[in-house]
Structure 1
Amino acid sequence: MTSPRKHALEVTLDRRVDPQKASPRQTASEMAEAAIDWLGSLDREQRVVAHYGVPAYNAEAEAERRRWFYTPTDHGGLTIHQQSPAQQRAAMRLVATGLSMAGYVTVATTMGLENILDRVEGFIARFDRERGRDPGLYYLRVFGEPGGEQPWGWRFGGHHVSLNNLIVDGVLVSTTPCFMGADPASSPLLGEVLNRPLGRVEDMARELVRSLPPELSHRAVILGKAPSDLVTANRTVVSDGDQVIPLVGIWRDEEFPDKEEQAKLQAVSDAFDANCGLTPEDHVQVAYRTVPKGLPGNAMNPSQRELMFALLKSYFDRVPSSVSPASDYDDAALDNVHFAWAGSTEPGQPHYYRLQGPRLLIEWDNTQRDANHAHSVWRDPEADFGLDVLARHRARDHA
């Protein structure tokens, strides 16, 4: 049997290949090479934390693979802190294989924002950690054997980052959920300019909703108030009727060992929910539904449709072009994408939006910290984590 290392090296992407012409198989090959190199650099103790079982054939590993977070909690895996500089470089090389250049810059910037947030909050310890806002607490974990015959994948995550990738039969088949956030969403740079890692992702949606005439705006704006967070949160599977999960519920462990710290988190969570002011009826109104809410693309004029496509592309462009679904969104596909907004349309005010269509769910919110704390996620409600491909793979193996 061909060893995983040899198999991966045999199919390694030629460095001269134009990345714009790469295929999902070539991208998976790059991932396999990078993952093998990273795992090979680790000692036995590190590998116990960094390397888990084969997806779909190890129930514990598969359950862990499908857990994801965007809070500053334990995301599962080997942290940047736990690695030498050379290992960190190898880890970030693997992360880069799953992102476009713009996506990589955004993730790296988000990690760096932890230093800014630490200053904003007064350099205090938080969340039962020695350093609550810590750019070294980003976690990488590989599932299965990279480049081998069985499915394998990897996850990278920390505060405001969650990247989830699955490879089956040597092809990158899933890149969702894909979460990116920014806190602060806007902060000053020298020369009186602003650092806004997700600025255009916010601005294009606002431009779209404000471009709508009253009769269409009424359909797009589903609620005058914004929920305190993403409606579907970090659920493994999204379901009809899902509502906002309080912040305190989006952590790996139910409670911190330090009861005082747990009480602080509960107070912050309660304040977020109170500030948004949603009634039970409001939560129902903004809840996720399998039948999309909002304004469909077929009701928009050409310039609005063009703007909606640009907004979609700002999410799809997070990943390498070889696996971006942007080219699938022709006029017929755009007809079936619904755009929904909640909250104020004024800049600087709390707001939320959703883009939803067949095998598509995008959510954005910027409500916390006086609307200077952004969350955004791209999901496939039918097949996050590549569950559809894994099911077919298992069925084939047991046929």
Structure 2
Amino acid sequence: MVVTADPTAQDVATTMAEAAEAWLASLGTGQRAVATGGTPGADAEADAERLRWYYTPTDHGGLTLGEMRPAQQSLAMQLVASGLSTAGYVTVSTILGLENVLDHVEGWGVDWGRERGRDPQCYYLRVFGRPGPSGAWAWRFGGHHVSLNNLVVDGRVVSTTPCFLGADPATAPLLGPVPLRPLAGAEELARELVRSLPADLAAEAVLLDRAPSDIIGGNRSRVGAGDRMILLTDIWRGRFDEPRLADRLAMMSEGAERASGFDDTDHATLALGGPRGVPGAALDPAGRELMTALLSTYLDRVPAGLAVWPDVDDVHIAWAGPLQRGAPHYYRLQAPRFLVEYDNTQRHANHAHAVWRDPESDFGHDVLASHRAAHHPA
């Protein structure tokens, strides 16, 4: 999502640069080699790594928290916090901690080819280019169910997408009657909105009576019309050499597809393209209020005033799956230069994904193109 040229974007960029410089200065030579990448937009080959992102427990690229000393970890998390609101930072921190819960759920037995497969310290940070008030630089923080991608150009934050948050388990018990649900707002507000629609609009909003096993855009660097869901086996960095790991992943992918009941026609129905479902312009005042609250669960991930809000009238909501809580479901919010996807389908609808994107300028594609044309003409 490209952000506006306001003081907030400049102030946040300054804070980001100071945090990035402090973290990089704390690293040893070997650590810096892993923690840094090429300048954004220098050329397609140099920029290819910055455009890779994942939400699986794979190598996201960069220096992991586990490879840092405690003081370096603190500096790393200060950089992460600089690109998030307080609520966003708390949510990201909670998702990291859920790795301990997931390890327990899975009986401590999933390793993914490393010493610990579910590891709250296996989150990667990398800085691209040189932080500062001029030129282009970026940073990425990612690991299982987190991917934050930020681009700064000439001292201003210009892109904060793709921005992915997930939760597995999506619901977990706490002491007391209220469970832990990091993405509850994004789920419950959408369900309430669709349930509130009159019958004719509900028929337009619900595209299918069953849900896909994952978000449709997957981890593509760019999303476009006709894109269909990517299978789980393809949302990793490379392939597993060990047959046991390759087989496990294939079984998970095949099991999720079987559970969804999807066929080729269903995948075609949910393929990305123009906005589907019901637009905000068709909602009554209560529905528009719900839509605005739902949008805030995505756009308020970043510091106040940083994100550009789409016109609520233009935002379409589309749903797939049953509407009762606990059933596998998927929804999409879409407007010009705005795309949100949410699913909670896997692990018996207790494993959620929620991504916010700008289909036209994820990673700041268009801003970098303008910057190159102005400062590096052919």
User: Structure 1-normalised TM-score?
Assistant: 0.92
Equivalent residue runs for 1:286-365 within 5 Å:
286-289=270-273, 291-326=274-309, 329=310, 333-365=311-343
2-side partners of 1:63 and 1:322: how far apart? 30
What is the aligned counterpart of 2:31 among 34, 42, 46? 46
Query: Deviations along 1:288-346, whole A, 9 cap, x unmatched?
Result: 11x211111111111101101110011000000131224xx4xxx21111100000100
Aligned-residue sequence identity (percent) comes to: 58
Question: What is the letter of the counterpart of residue 281 of structure 2?
Answer: N
Aligned ranges 1:134-213 → 2 under 5 Å: 134-213=119-198
8 Å CA contact 1:72–1:158 kept in 2: the answer is yes
- Please say if residues 27 and 322 of structure 1, whose CA atoms lie closer than 8 Å, have aligned partners that are also in contact: no
- Secondary structure of 1:134 counterpart: coil
- Per-residue deviation, 1:258: 1.1
Selected match of 2:254 from 242, 253, 270: 270
Structure 1 unaligned spans of 5+: 1-20
Q: Which runs of 4+ in 1 moved over 3 A?
A: 58-61
Q: Specify every segment of 5 or more residues in structure 2 that has no aligned partner in the other structure, as ranges.
A: 1-5
Mapped contact 1:364–1:376 kept (Cα < 8 A): yes
- 5 Å-filtered alignment, 1:175-254, equals 175-253=160-238
SS of corresponding position for 1:226: coil
How many residues are paired up?
372
Deviation at 1:58, TM superposition (A): 4.2
TM-score after normalising by structure 2: 0.97
Using the alignment, how far apart are the partners of 1:76 and 1:186 within structure 2?
29
Confirm or deny: 8 A CA contact 1:185 1:197 kept in the other structure: yes
Query: Shift of residue 242 of structure 1?
Result: 0.7
**8 Å contact from structure 2 (residues 14, 133) kept in 1:** no
Higher relative contact order (CA 8 A, sep 6+): 2
Residue 374 (structure 2) pairs with residue 396 (structure 1): yes
- CA RMSD in angstroms, aligned pairs only: 1.1
Q: Per-residue CA shift, 1:66-112, capped at 9, x if unaligned?
A: 10000000000000010000000000000000000000000000000
Q: Which amino acid aligns with 1:273?
A: E
AA aligned to 2:137 is W
- Tell me the distance in 1 between the aligned counterparts of 2:123 and 2:46: 19
State how far apart, in whole Å, the 1-side matches of 2:24 and 2:201 are. Answer: 53
Q: Name the stretch that deviates more: 56-65 or 350-359.
A: 56-65
Contact 1:22–1:322 (CA<8 Å) still a contact in 2? no
CA distance in structure 1 between the aligned counterparts of 2:30 and 2:313, rounded to whole angstroms: 52
Instruction: Letter of the 1:368 partner, please give it.
Output: Q
> Structure 2 CA distance, aligned partners of 1:322 and 1:339?
24
Letter in 2 for 1:320: P
Tell me the SS of whatever aligns to 1:162.
strand
Q: Distance in 2 between matches of 1:288 and 1:91?
A: 35
Amino acid paired to 2:348: D
